[in-house]
Amino acid sequence: MPQGQPLTVPADGLTTRARRNAPLLAVHTGPGKGKSTAAFGMALRAWNQGFSVAVFQFVKSAKWKVGEETALSELGRVHDERGVGGPVEWHKMGAGWSWTRKPGTEIDHAAAAADGWAEISRRLADERHDFYVLDEFTYPLKWGWVDTDDVVEVLVSRPGTQHVVITGRDAPPALLDAADLVTEMTKVKHPMDAGRKGQKGIEW
């Protein structure tokens, strides 16, 4: 993307540099493809800048997004072994969060979602990471498993320069209001409409 000129210069008393370093809250929503995929693409840039990247997947099944997980984990390994890029953590609710998992126990998804958010809250307070992907996080908000007002409050008041990208359909209006960047992915044409099923290397 070209480095565009801002349409307006805000009267916020900040220098361009301060504004440039402001933490970004981005939301990718809408019914189209590419919401999560674009978030993981953004993570590549963050990784390249040496940012600490953490992904939290709020999905039921641990089998989804294996490709992105493997790729970003390998980039984390590149960081650990060769000092290129930043460290990467990948956490999955569907498999039980790594910090709470008890093998063999059934997962209560509502409780797991609330627990995931509590952990993210703590990490934001501690400024643990530079770049967070909260993948499909709009669903626990929509279903009331996690309180949207609490999320907005924590995000708006997070310390430092921690960037957060949230993905999923039907993002609540309060979250959109709080976001700096909102992109809606609109489905114009999709192969499943023509009877195709998911494909290796494309859907997973």
Chain positions 124 to 183 lying near its own copies, rule: CB under 8 A, are: 130-131, 163, 176, 179-183
Residue 15 binding its own copies, by CB under 8 A:
no
Residue 196 binding its own copies, by CB under 8 A:
yes
**How far is the C-alpha of 55 from the C-alpha of 88, rounded, in Å?**
8
- State the binding string over 17-36 for its own copies (x if CB under 8 A, else -): --xxxx-x---xxx-xxx-x
**Site for its own copies, residues 36 to 95, rule: CB under 8 A:** 36-42, 44-49, 51, 61, 64, 66-68, 70-72, 74-75, 77-78, 84-85
Nearer to its own copies by C-beta: 60 or 123?
60
**How far is the C-alpha of 116 from the C-alpha of 93, rounded, in Å?**
7
Give me the least distance between CB of 122 and its own copies, in Å please. 22
**How far is the C-alpha of 187 from the C-alpha of 185, rounded, in Å?**
7
| 163-181 core/surface letters (b: 16 or more CB in 10 A; e: else) | bbbbbbbebbeebeebbee
> At CB < 8 A and 24+ separation, what contacts does 73-81 make?
75/44, 75/47, 79/47
- Element (H or E) spanning 35, and its range? helix 35-48
Among 4, 13, 83, 173, indicate the residue that binds its own copies (CB under 8 A). 4
Tokens standing for residue 167: 């993905």
Give me the least distance between CB of 167 and its own copies, in Å please. 10
Give me the least distance between CB of 81 and its own copies, in Å please. 10
